Structure 1
Amino acid sequence: MTMNTIILAALKQVLTLVCGLGTHKKLFILIYHRVLDEPDFMRPGEVDKQTFSWQMALLAKYFHVLSVSDALEKLKTNSLPARAVCITFDDGYADNLLNAVPILKKHQLSASFFIASGYLNGGRMWNDSIIEALRNMQQAELNLSGIDLGVYSIATSTQKYAAAQQIIKKLKYLQPAQRLYLSEQIAACVNGLPDNLMLTHEQLKQLQQHGMAIGGHTVTHPIMAKLDVNAALQEVIDNKNALEKLLKTQIDYFAYPNGKLGSDYLASQVDIIKTVGYQAAFSTHWGVVTANSDLWQLPRFTPWDKTPVKFMLRMVALYCNTVK
């Protein structure tokens, strides 16, 4: 038995205690976006297949992984198992099916996938347009002063990543139409950007056929806080209707795009999610779900630790820092 195995076994016991006892157990909800073929200098925050594989092996061995519907039902009836975890994905990338699902199935795990329906079948999210454009640029400098976005050095991979993040930060909270226009101006500087990043309709059906749950995530992934009531309602309704028509099933859960209350969605917009018939909704605020959590703003956490022991330690820390 290796030292890491001994440490992980000990942490499992600690987790059993800190995640709650009796009827006061807590639920951990993980959030992913992509599972890459291999590490990518333009997307260092995303896991690759190797990392996702050991993370899922860890969850299968040391935790009780539940579907969202089962977990919320058990939370309601005070019957959560110890070390309860849900796995979720946002946006609808093709590698969710191609890379994540085979690994999930290998470990007999399920996940929920929240889909921005407007990007299916060859669409590309605005931030991906920026990332892929800068990746493929050959020049040493990118001059965007003509559209008031400044000048960037992009001679190295490090500079390309930094420039992309700076541009995305500048555009993120603009009005949707302006954000799209500017990202398209940048994308137009490069030919042949990928059009297969997102799921197709057929791939989304396959995702469902593999036993994965599908949820709503708006049509165009806007910053909902920037939309008026009617526009926000339309984004949510059209997304739900499109997914239900395609998959021929009821969609019960929703994830807010970007997911931070105040900056990304408004407290008043929570009522929209209730009105259209969703049963619960998910934010991206860090934390662990308890019986006292708001069912319409459930917290989630993105794991980034590079080793199993650190991964487990972070989960212990989050369990400890969440008030029952």
Structure 2
Amino acid sequence: MKQCILKAISVALPLVLKTKGKQHLSILIYHRVLPEYDFMRPSEPTIKEFDWQMSLVSRYFTPLSLARALELMDRGELPENAICVTFDDGYADNESCALPILKKWKIPATVFVSTGFINGGRMWNDTVVETIKCAGEYIDLRKVGLDEYAFKDSESKRTVAQKILTEIKHREVGQRAETVDFIESLAKQSLPNDLMATDQQILNLDAAGVEIGGHTVNHPILAKLNDARAEQEIIDGKVHLESVLSKKLRYFAYPNGKLGDDYLESQVRIVKEAGFEAAVSTTWGVSTRNSDRYQLARFTPWDKSPDKFLLRLLLNQKSVKL
């Protein structure tokens, strides 16, 4: 019965939306695939959830590598429901948890890596999340311009962590690092240092056919940097990964990824001049042959049931990014 519903959605909705036959490229954006549910990261799929998501992608879409999709787009030969799968940041579970499922469903992927956190580092946001996760009933962050917070349950911890992340993510990189260091100093236990990929895991992904792309060094809000510093972030990350892989990096993902808020038009030019062939944003929608190759749209449904996931993904095809 469930398969019949899914098939009906996949057939009827493109006709209703008038997207059938249009050469639209959907690009999914992920960060992590978790071994099991984490109450601090409810939007991150578990292995089980990612498996049924990729089964839908395999069954109702045409999965392509980013390189193949852009080649076909240029030739006007993009197939119906073309889709690419991408991951941001460079988490270890991209290799340990996501890769076996990608192989199972024969789905290509691209992983965009922020080089400053790999090999035993930790993304700044994970430091915040992990500190709040192991906190007691109270934490005082007034010394770094935040607030004092009380926790009564897991939901309040999750809410506070998200509030803190929102408040500090646009701080200057050095100030953000100082804030995060202070927060970490209040942690009730040692924080995990194996969340990000190692060079060897990046090589394993590459050997399995996963495209590795650039994502800066420190995952800054590029719009907060002058062009010289933005260029250094973009190029230094590219150089590091090219030295690991012994090959040229072709694609780039803007950290956070919203034009104006997170990156600027001048930085799009930097990405082009750095030698990248294309770049992806986090603006919802789909891309076409007429879309800016250096600001491709990305989107991922957050639904926890297959029918809603498929429905939202098909609805997204109505939003074309130019």
TM-score range, shorter-chain basis? over 0.9
Q: Is the 8 A contact 1:205 1:247 kept in 2?
A: yes
- Map 1:21-100 onto structure 2 (within 5 A): 21=21, 24-100=22-98
Please give the secondary structure, in 2, of the residue aligned with 1:47: coil
Q: 2:184 aligns with which of 174, 184, 187?
A: 187
Q: 1:151 aligns with which of 140, 148, 162?
A: 148
Alignment partners' CA distance in 2, 1:124 and 1:323: 33
Letter in 2 for 1:10: A
Letter in 1 for 2:7: A
- Map 1:262-273 onto structure 2 (within 5 A): 262-273=260-271
Alignment partners' CA distance in 1, 2:289 and 2:80: 14
- Map 1:138-287 onto structure 2 (within 5 A): 138=136, 140-190=137-187, 191-287=189-285
Letter in 2 for 1:193: L
Please give the secondary structure, in 1, of the residue aligned with 2:286: coil
Residues 283-302 of structure 1, C-alpha deviations (whole Å, 9 max, x = no match):
00000111221111000002
Residues 280-319 of structure 1, C-alpha deviations (whole Å, 9 max, x = no match):
0000000011122111100000221111111111122111
Q: Is the 8 A contact 2:86 2:111 kept in 1?
A: yes
Alignment partners' CA distance in 2, 1:63 and 1:70: 15
Which residue number corresponds to residue 5 of structure 2? 7
Q: Is the 8 A contact 2:287 2:321 kept in 1?
A: no
Residues 140-182 of structure 1, C-alpha deviations (whole Å, 9 max, x = no match):
1111122221111123111111111111111111110000100
Letter in 2 for 1:143: D
Please give the secondary structure, in 2, of the residue aligned with 1:31: strand
- Map 1:306-321 onto structure 2 (within 5 A): 306-321=304-319
Please give the secondary structure, in 1, of the residue aligned with 2:206: helix
What is the TM-score with the length of structure 1 in the denominator?
A: 0.96
Please give the secondary structure, in 1, of the residue aligned with 2:301: coil
Q: Is the 8 A contact 2:114 2:214 kept in 1?
A: yes
Alignment partners' CA distance in 1, 2:20 and 2:259: 27
Shift of 1:63: 1.0
Cα gap change, 1:143 to 1:267, in 2 (>3 Å): same
Q: Is the 8 A contact 2:297 2:321 kept in 1?
A: no
| Structure 1, 252-261 or 297-306: larger mean CA deviation | 297-306
Q: Unaligned regions of 5+ residues in structure 1, if any?
A: none
Alignment partners' CA distance in 1, 2:318 and 2:88: 26
Alignment partners' CA distance in 1, 2:321 and 2:174: 41
Alignment partners' CA distance in 2, 1:48 and 1:238: 32
Output the aligned Cα RMSD.
1.3
Residues 15-49 of structure 1, C-alpha deviations (whole Å, 9 max, x = no match):
6654442xx41111000000011111101111111
Please give the secondary structure, in 2, of the residue aligned with 1:170: helix
Letter in 1 for 2:23: K
Alignment partners' CA distance in 2, 1:154 and 1:213: 41
Q: Is the 8 A contact 1:15 1:83 kept in 2?
A: no
Letter in 2 for 1:179: R
Letter in 1 for 2:171: L
Q: Is the 8 A contact 2:291 2:321 kept in 1?
A: no
Alignment partners' CA distance in 2, 1:134 and 1:154: 9
